[in-house]
Amino acid sequence: MCFDGEMLILLSLAAHAAPVIHIDRTGRTLTLIDDGTVLQTAPVGIGRGGLGEKTTMSDLITPTGTFTVDLILTPTAGAVAPEVIERFGGIPEYAALLTDLPTLFSNMNRIDFDGDGSSDAAYGGAYIGLTSDAAVTGPKLRRYRDGTIYWYSIALHGTPAPENLGAARSGGCVHLSETLLAAIIADGTVTIGSPVIISDGPPEREQRVLRDDSLSHRKNKE
CATH for 67:
2.40.440.10
Count structural domains, the chain: 1
Q: If you count DSSP H runs as helices and E runs as strands, how many of each does the chain have, helices first?
A: 6, 13
Torsion angle of C-alpha atoms 192, 75, 181, 114, degrees rounded to 10: -110
211 has a pLDDT exceeding 90: no
Residue 69 confidence (pLDDT): 97
pLDDT (tens digit, 9 = 90+) per residue, 61-91?
999 999 999 999 999 999 999 999 999 999 9
The confidence band for 17, taking pLDDT boundaries of 50, 70 and 90, is low
221 has a pLDDT exceeding 50: no
Task: Return the closest-CA partner of residue 179 out of 20, 30, 17.
Answer: 30
Residue 214: which domain range?
Answer: 5-221
Q: Supply angle C-alpha 66, 9, 175, rounded to 5.
A: 40
Residue 19 confidence (pLDDT): 85
pLDDT (tens digit, 9 = 90+) per residue, 118-133?
999 999 999 999 999 9
The confidence band for 206, taking pLDDT boundaries of 50, 70 and 90, is very low
Residue 36 confidence (pLDDT): 82
Largest CA distance in the chain: 62
Q: What is the pTM of this model?
A: 0.85
The confidence band for 56, taking pLDDT boundaries of 50, 70 and 90, is very high
Mean local confidence (pLDDT), 134-152 = 96
Specify the amino acid at residue 3.
F
